[in-house]
Structure 1
Amino acid sequence: MRKMGIKDIAALSGVSPATVSRTLRNPELVNKDTRKKVMKAVKESGYRPNRFGSSLRTRQSGNIVVVMPDITHQVNAGIIRAIESEAQKHGYSVLLGDTQGLIERERHYADMVNSGQADGILLFTPRLPFDVDPDQPLLKQLPPLVSGNETIPVEGLCRVSVNNTAGARAATEYLLSLGHRRIAAVLGASDAPSNQERLDGYHQAMDEAGLQVDPQWIVAGDYSTDSGMAAMEKLLKLRQRPTAVFCFNDDMAIGALNVLHQYGFAIPQDISVMGFDDIRYAALMRPALTTIHQPLEDIGRAAMQLLLEQLNGRQPKNNYVELPFELIVRQSTGPVPLQGESE
């Protein structure tokens, strides 16, 4: 006989799987009539909850799950290392969830928390992968959770990041200070809030300098090296090429540098390239990459500390930790070419 699961109980009682899970974990959050329907279905079906499925706050699993779009990206390495270190100090193991940006994978890893296989979750993704009841307060329906790097627009949600808008503005202002006026921007993933925040910072700096942004200077990317290469190929075909290119992460900037080398451009004498993140390879490039430094290990450590407070039954006093960024000037940027800029 097939073993009954939460989805079966949901079908029998006419509610969502999230409501069944919430009824079993935190019945006080569910209204009386719904609770009676769910428990009647549980009793009649003989359903036995997963042995990990008791209250999240009992810490029975000893696991936390970290959900990221791509754990192979260099920007995530320092974050993961710090999370692992901080978690182990407090007796927790880390389960890594690599989603490849797919919503169904995000929901799969979220279900690990719902089923009690993990006690809390660190989300480095742009959305909440949980079923929620719109008639109930949102935060009360969520497990211990911290959002990292990407801004999920939920008031009161615990999160950790740098100020992407201010960082991108600082990057653009530095290129402007070198005399550049034709500054291109290579965008990140279209669904990532960090992409829009960095674009806002770029536009703020250009607007304040009184410069009109040519739409051809804004090129789509997706935070991958390949997209940085494709973007630079497009920019080099423009009749009036930009004299500087601001890539919204280092991976794309490294791709851009590679294309410039292939076509024999001198960097930064012919064109300057700026990144964002300061991954390990940024300093090893030739020329070394000018970029905005994110304190990646501090991000991981702060996110885990916020989660630990929740796991210990405390609501953090400060639910938003904004960490400082730093402009790191290296050899990939220089003054505008004398023949390259007409005022």
Structure 2
Amino acid sequence: MATLKDISDKTGYSLATVSRVLNYDSSLAVSNETKRTILEAAEALAYSKNRNERKNYSKTKIICLLSLAEEEELDKLYYISIRVGIENKCNQLGIQALRFYNDIESMKNENFDGVIAVGKFSNQHVTELKSLTNHVVFVDFSPAEEDFDAVMVDFKKAIQKVIDYCLNTHYNNIYFLGGQETLSDKKTLIEEDVRTKEYCRYMKKLGIYDEKNISIGDFSAESGYHNTKTLLKRSEDTLPDVIIAASDPIAIGALKAINETNYTIPNDIAVVGFNDISIAAFVYPTLTTVKVYTELMGESAVDLLLEQLNGRTITKTLYIATELVIRESLK
């Protein structure tokens, strides 16, 4: 990564001048041309003014706690990608990151500075974490905005974006394959996923909601496959022309079920997934999906935790935007 000295060498201006320009020091009396030269050099050298990266975090130790058991993670590429983002960011900053799978009890034997908790946690586990440290960031879960930092996906806007795109491209009969999951105690079922809830709300707002056009399983490919097989037993004139799935594995299961019939994708039934996991570009047909920037979620969680360790006390909830990636499964 480029440094202040690199920019100073490139432009001929002093380190102090470069630093003050990049920090938008209004008391600095230099010409606009000087500012432009320094800013353009910074861009050219891909300089990033990041306070966290200028500090020495070699003595910082954090815990990445996943709500999943280790064997469950293999079926949840979404959470693997978030974890990789956390660990890569820590590695870049020289932070020691310990990994625990749904095991708060073992954490009590460690000395650490803070916790990044990935996944959905029960009230009991949230309380236990709070008793262990004042520095906790949740990812993909926000138990209490006034008490904890969180990094979330803006699934509400994402669902609206997908529905609007489908309607604007003349997919009028929209079916939703949702999923449910449990909290970290493996007992408490999350009543309604935000994607399911927003699909129902937005479709009702548009006046096109049909309770027959939704089914809920879990977030696996098997669930998507079996629910789609059931759907395909309908008479042809009642079949949807597009399926929106709450996750890519669900969507991949739907692709498999449709590919086993005489129906074609996307001409007869289109399919849209969520998350843009790595295999979405390799299934047949390649999967149109809502890209969730999972590694950025992990990196952002590290940034929030470091802000806490540096003294910030006001909580933050960060929402990461999404992008609709068009591939072959949607016209």
Q: Are 1:164 and 2:148 counterparts?
A: no
Question: Aligned partner of 2:146: which letter?
Answer: E
What is the match of residue 83 of structure 2?
Answer: 80
Matches within 5 A, 1:1-343: 62-69=61-68, 70-72=72-74, 73-98=76-101, 106=102, 109-127=103-121, 128-130=123-125, 132=127, 142-191=133-182, 196-213=193-210, 215-239=211-235, 240-310=238-308, 312-315=309-312, 319-334=316-331
Q: Alignment RMSD, CA only?
A: 2.8
Instruction: Give the Cα–Cα distance (whole angstroms) in 2 for the partners of residues 230 and 64 of structure 1.
Output: 38
* Residue 111 (structure 1) shift: 2.6
Q: Assess, with a 3 A threshold, how the Cα gap between structure 1 residues 176 and 153 changes in structure 2: closer, same or farther.
A: farther
Q: Percent identity?
A: 25
* Residue 174 (structure 1) shift: 1.5
Instruction: Give the Cα–Cα distance (whole angstroms) in 1 for the partners of residues 212 and 220 of structure 2.
Output: 20
TM-score w.r.t. length of structure 2:
0.70
* Residue 264 (structure 1) shift: 3.1
Secondary structure at the residue paired with 1:179?
Answer: coil
* Residue 123 (structure 1) shift: 1.7
* Residue 141 (structure 1) shift: 6.9
Instruction: Give the Cα–Cα distance (whole angstroms) in 1 for the partners of residues 106 and 326 of structure 2.
Output: 43
* Residue 154 (structure 1) shift: 4.7
Q: Assess, with a 3 A threshold, how the Cα gap between structure 1 residues 117 and 67 changes in structure 2: closer, same or farther.
A: farther
Instruction: Give the Cα–Cα distance (whole angstroms) in 1 for the partners of residues 286 and 273 of structure 2.
Output: 11
Question: Aligned partner of 1:71: which letter?
Answer: E
Q: Assess, with a 3 A threshold, how the Cα gap between structure 1 residues 271 and 142 changes in structure 2: closer, same or farther.
A: same
* CA deviation map 1:190-210 (0-9, x unaligned): 447696211232123312322
* Residue 323 (structure 1) shift: 1.3
* Residue 120 (structure 1) shift: 2.4
CA contact (8 A) 2:241 2:269 kept: yes
Larger displacement relative to structure 2 (75-84 or 242-251): 75-84
Question: Aligned partner of 2:215: which letter?
Answer: V
Instruction: Give the gaps of 5 or more residues in structure 2.
Output: 1-57, 184-189
What is the match of residue 5 of structure 2?
Answer: none
Q: Assess, with a 3 A threshold, how the Cα gap between structure 1 residues 296 and 76 changes in structure 2: closer, same or farther.
A: same
* CA deviation map 1:96-124 (0-9, x unaligned): 334xxxxxxx3xx2234444354422222
Q: Assess, with a 3 A threshold, how the Cα gap between structure 1 residues 217 and 238 changes in structure 2: closer, same or farther.
A: same
Secondary structure at the residue paired with 2:194?
Answer: helix
Instruction: Give the Cα–Cα distance (whole angstroms) in 1 for the partners of residues 94 and 191 of structure 2.
Output: 32
Secondary structure at the residue paired with 2:179?
Answer: coil
TM-score w.r.t. length of structure 1:
0.68
CA contact (8 A) 1:189 1:223 kept: yes
Secondary structure at the residue paired with 2:125?
Answer: coil
Q: Assess, with a 3 A threshold, how the Cα gap between structure 1 residues 194 and 257 changes in structure 2: closer, same or farther.
A: farther
What is the match of residue 51 of structure 1?
Answer: none
CA contact (8 A) 1:66 1:94 kept: no
* Residue 302 (structure 1) shift: 0.2
More strand by proportion, 1 or 2?
Answer: 2
Instruction: Give the Cα–Cα distance (whole angstroms) in 1 for the partners of residues 324 and 247 of structure 2.
Output: 13
